Amino acid sequence: MCHGSSVRFFLMSLLVLVAGSVGCDRNAPSPTQPTVSTPSPVVAATVPPSVTAISPDVGSTRGTRVKITGTGFRDGAIVTLGGVAIRVCPVPTADCSWVFTSTTIYASAPAHAAGRVDVVVTNPDGRAGGLPGGYTYAIPESFEVNGNWEGGADSNYETPFRFIVQNDSLTSISCGASGMLTFAPALPVSHGEFSFAGPGGASISGRIVSPNSAFGNINISPCLAFPWFAVRQE
């Protein structure tokens, strides 16, 4: 009786050990977890600027103001004409360049030897676009100065301004309500420039900067200490 009980106990213990070894096998391989791939971030490609035109496309070797048009211009862009960098300003001034819109840059071309030069715009990211041979420097003596010139004066160039050049000499001017003032003798235009200083601080000076544009200053009533610009009428 006791021998049978011992056998049954032995068999039951053996079954328990076998079941335990099957359920707790530390060497059994663990289920493989699915791998989730993380997509790489998408980096937006920057488009280089392009230059389509510069106006005027002919200017004085002594420098002039220009307007550059194209696409993709960004704040902080650097403009070069013939490899000469133009100073960039955060706000518009007469002697540096600034990005007006993504399609327009206003700049002041530096002095340069006569000849054709490349126009290049480089954005802050280093990407650049240009207009090969797009601008021509010419000596002021090559410009036609004779004719009627019309434009504006004051800080916003809103005051009507006009002058007449005949036989390469400035003969008369008018500014605002001054009426036409005649110079006797006429003021010679030399190397694309003219100037006059009269009594009471009255004065006018000007510079022909391209075949059809001129800039200067006037201090003749009612235009006192005004900058001016004018375009030659065809």
Residues spanned by the domain of 57: 50-138
b/e per residue, 122-142, with b = 16+ CB within 10 A? Answer: bbeeeebbbbeebbebbebee
Q: Domain total for the chain?
A: 2
Query: Which of the four pLDDT bands, split at 50, 70 and 90, describes residue 94?
Result: low
Q: Is residue 179 part of a domain?
A: yes
Half-sphere exposure of 180 (CA within 13 A, CB side): 11
Residue pLDDT, tens place only, 173-206: 999 998 899 999 999 999 999 999 999 999 999 9
Q: In whole angstroms, what is the distance from residue 207 CA to residue 214 CA?
A: 6
Regarding whether 225 and 201 lie in a shared domain, the answer is yes
Q: Is residue 13 part of a domain?
A: no
Q: 112, 138, 164: which is the final residue of a domain?
A: 138
The pTM of the full predicted model, rounded to 2 decimals, is 0.74
Q: 97, 117, 138: which is the final residue of a domain?
A: 138
> Can you tell me the mean pLDDT for 70-76?
92
Residue pLDDT, tens place only, 35-52: 555 554 444 457 899 999
Regarding whether 127 and 188 lie in a shared domain, the answer is no
Regarding whether 146 and 133 lie in a shared domain, the answer is no
